[in-house]
Amino acid sequence: MSATAVVGKAVPKVDGAEKVTGRTVYIHDLKIPGMLYGKIKYSDRVSARIVSIDTSEAEKVPGVKAVITAYNTPEIRFGFLKDNTALKKDRVRQYRDEIAAVAATTPEAAEEAVRKIRVEYEDLPAVFDPDEALAPEAPRVHETDARGKPLKDNRLRLPWRVEAGDVKAGEEASAFVAEGEYEVGWVTHCCLGTSGCIASFDPHGNLTMYSNTQIPSLARTDYMEALKAMGLRGRVRVVNAAIGGGFGSKLDTYAHEYIAILLAHRTGRPVKIVFDREEEFFATSPRQPVKVRVRQGCDAQGRLTFREISMVLDNGAYTSWGATTPTVMMMPATSLYRVPNVRFEATCVYTNNTYCQAMRGYGTPQVTFAIECNLDELAEKVGLDPLEMRLRNANEPGEVTPQGFKVTTCGHRECIEEVAKRLDWKNKRGRAGQTGSKRRGVGMACLMHVGGGAKIYRSDGCGTLIKVDDFGNVDVFSGSMDIGQGLDTVLRQIVAETLGVGIERVNVIVGDTDVCPWDVGVHASRSTFIAGNSALNAARMVRDQILEFAGQMLEAPPEILALENGQVVCREDPSKNLPLAKVLRRAHFAKTGNTMFMAAHFYEPDTDMLEGEFKGNYSCTYAWGCHGVEVEVDTETGHVEIVKYVAAHDVGRAINPMLLRGQVQGAVMMGIGYALSEEMIFEQGRLRNPNFRDYKILTAKDAVKVEPVIVETEDPAGPFGAKGIGEPGLVPSAPAIANAIYDAVGVRLNRLPLKPERVLRALKEREAPSGPCGALQREG
């Protein structure tokens, strides 16, 4: 590994001091002179025709400046399939449907006005179960698509299917086959900072959107389309406040943003809409529920022969990026472990439930739960230790997977071995002779994720501009965004390293589309890799310009010069060393040919956007990992306690080990919540637990001392060898825990979360399989 000055160091977050002193400004804290407060009237019915909307009483509330509905505003269509509108006309399809909105001088007036809006409905049939929604006689959630073409059924027209090798032949060659059905429900991001925005038009009709989006550039395009739909021709600028958590929730544009735009335009004043916690729960889009069917087989030695996965996703009533998660689920489905013959098929179905979105992991936690639980079942059939099963099938560097992914660096095997060692797997797995009500067991599960971007959009690029002043201070304008993960710190490290200056000399500017170049967004664990490479390349261009000039000054070839410690260093003759600032000023204030150093680079990874057969290389490199967990199951209460948790990740190289560990620890806790406690409870489309009291994210008392193990494989494509790490940490938590529960008490739980009542029911079921508990099994 090359010697570095600041890359690889545990540099504290550059925005830390602002955050600990309360100076950081989030969207909630932002006020603009003349600003009004917007509030939304949501549907009272889950599926109905809107007969009439009476806003007359709302309009009379003092302070109210505008009340809008779909009937007095232009239609703004949005979403991945453009099947959603900012305000609903004629028909509602879910409880969170936006029927009207108010702008008022105070939040209280806006709320009062919303309460006074009267809507008359005529109920329509609804459907909540995706399997039922697929039946020919099921009520149709949408009669037509966005273009008005009639729809035959509730199935989304999305071609999520991939096949490679010969699954039938693979199955015939199998000595063992395991199959199972796995089910995961809704969970939600629970960002501590809720969603919100402020829309503001200038007198020329240009829109500035103050936001906390994860996708400033794409949001800008979306808002431009909205202006077009409104018959306006202004420019759009997206300015981000600090983001109080993202996790995929802010990866799309939403109705409340378009409503703020409509209200701001109607009133001629800035309009702020910020969600309260209840809205954040019911009116944002959660991770989608999936029912997965897995069949996989292996030969007599346990080598995988085939894998077949089919799944049904509950899309909800409209379509966001969540509907594209199968394009990422395909990746572990076809390529986690070496499997020669694979088939994957996903069906997304409209229902009258809340519509879904991506969440950290982008589908991979759902499908990995199914694959990795099923792999343990297969290992048992073979009579193999699950550890051995995984080692026999682990991915290797240099392989090309059946789907066409080019595996470059790969620390999969090393991660498995690290987990086994640190968990003392050999001694702890399959402990015999446990007595008493508390039983311990160990389990593991692996992951594969994109580690070098993911081309789910036509461009997976990011731009960076760098300029240097007369004193060696560097401004870096990146298209990417910090969402708390520390992107601004990591970019500072990369640029400081490349330009040989102290990290305090580097300033990173993000989150303003008027100033920063284009970037597809903060998702897919791509920012360190893609924005990092973009910044690295721009910094190298600036470095080369400086060295070229210094070479002329020093009459030395640039090849023997370098930038280190704020100096231009001559490798062959240290007496020629010059302070960087001196070189910069000489260039700027030269008698002729004055110059300042600056550069721009747009980095587009050399990867394939998968369409048609869905084969190709999706990402520049892939992230691998293995999690191992020891649990203690209380057979009297069903409670599962995490005793030890090891998370080994192939990270390429840790640019900032402290921030990286933080990513893993945070993701694992989210993964443990997904496994054990988190569940949005919907009844007939209505969310029953829209608060932190009833939706259980883990607290400090539940904190697990996660042991992150950093496996460095130094990826040649990554900036300083780095791969992405934002999402991988929560991908294998649930199956690792489910597998450990099986080791402890011998019951398989195929449905998340693994709540005490489910564990207990499974234990009772095992004792009396034909008793009344068998009937109970189905309900919950």
Which residue's CB is nearer to another protein, number 350 or number 674? 674
Binds another protein (CB under 8 A): choice among 247, 258, 405, 597 = 247
Q: Which of 177, 180, 239, 229 is nearest to 207 (CA)?
A: 239
Which residue's CB is nearer to another protein, number 94 or number 485? 485
- Binders in 267-306 for another protein, by CB under 8 A: 276-277
Is there binding between residue 485 and another protein (CB under 8 A)?
A: yes
Closest distance to another protein from the beta carbon of 218 (Å): 21
The token pair at 646 is: 């090891």
Is there binding between residue 688 and another protein (CB under 8 A)?
A: no
Q: Which residues contact 538 (CB under 8 A, 6 or more apart)?
A: 464, 465, 466, 476, 599, 600, 601
Q: Alpha-carbon Rg of the chain, whole angstroms?
A: 27
Strand, coil or helix: 228: helix
Strand, coil or helix: 273: strand
Rounded Cα gap, residues 102 and 93, in angstroms: 21
| H or E element that contains 100 | strand 98-104
Q: Give the other-Cβ count within 10 Å of 562's Cβ.
A: 16
Per-residue mark of binding to another protein, 691-730 (x: CB under 8 A): xxx---xxxxx-xxxx------------------------
Q: Near another protein by CB under 8 A, which window of 240-248, 384-392, 473-481, 562-570?
A: 240-248
Q: How far is CA 308 from the centre of its chain?
A: 25
Closest distance to another protein from the beta carbon of 653 (Å): 18
- Say what angle helices 255-267 and 216-229 make with each other, to 10 degrees: 50
Per-residue mark of binding to another protein, 647-666 (x: CB under 8 A): -----------xx-xx--xx
Is there binding between residue 22 and another protein (CB under 8 A)?
A: yes
Report the DSSP beta bridge partners of residue 400: 406
Q: Near another protein by CB under 8 A, which window of 15-23, 120-128, 440-448, 587-595?
A: 15-23
Closest distance to another protein from the beta carbon of 487 (Å): 11
Which residue's CB is nearer to another protein, number 24 or number 206? 24
- Contacts made by residues 423-426, CB under 8 angstroms, sequence distance 24+: 423/628, 423/629, 423/630, 423/644, 423/646, 425/387, 425/628
The token pair at 370 is: 């199914």
Binds another protein (CB under 8 A): choice among 85, 94, 154, 194 = 194
Which residue's CB is nearer to another protein, number 262 or number 706? 706
Which residue's CB is nearer to another protein, number 528 or number 567? 528
User: φ, ψ for residue 471 (rounded to 5)?
Assistant: -115, 0
Is there binding between residue 68 and another protein (CB under 8 A)?
A: no
Q: Which of 620, 725, 738 is nearest to 664 (CA)?
A: 725
Pair 624, 456: CB distance under 8 Å? no
Closest distance to another protein from the beta carbon of 520 (Å): 21
The token pair at 325 is: 């998660």
Closest distance to another protein from the beta carbon of 192 (Å): 4
Binds another protein (CB under 8 A): choice among 13, 88, 307, 543 = 13
Binds another protein (CB under 8 A): choice among 92, 242, 550, 554 = 242
Rounded Cα gap, residues 134 and 349, in angstroms: 7
Alpha helices in 645-709 (DSSP H): 657-676
Q: Near another protein by CB under 8 A, which window of 24-32, 38-46, 457-465, 768-776?
A: 24-32
Closest distance to another protein from the beta carbon of 63 (Å): 15
Binds another protein (CB under 8 A): choice among 3, 21, 136, 770 = 21
Rounded Cα gap, residues 722 and 710, in angstroms: 12
Q: Which residue has the tokens 């932002």?
A: 30
Which residue's CB is nearer to another protein, number 84 or number 665? 665
Closest distance to another protein from the beta carbon of 663 (Å): 8
Rounded Cα gap, residues 330 and 164, in angstroms: 11
Say which DSSP state 533 is in.
H
Which residue's CB is nearer to another protein, number 115 or number 540? 115
CA distances for 707 relative to 282, 451, 602, 704, angstroms: 34, 21, 37, 9
Per-residue mark of binding to another protein, 199-238 (x: CB under 8 A): ----------------------------------------
Applying CB under 8 A, what is the total number of residues that bind another protein? 57
Is there binding between residue 184 and another protein (CB under 8 A)?
A: no
User: φ, ψ for residue 600 (rounded to 5)?
Assistant: -130, 140
Is there binding between residue 191 and another protein (CB under 8 A)?
A: yes
Closest distance to another protein from the beta carbon of 248 (Å): 12
Which positions touch another protein (CB under 8 A)?
10, 12-13, 15-26, 28-29, 189-194, 242-247, 276-277, 483-486, 658-659, 661-662, 665-670, 691-693, 697-701, 703-706
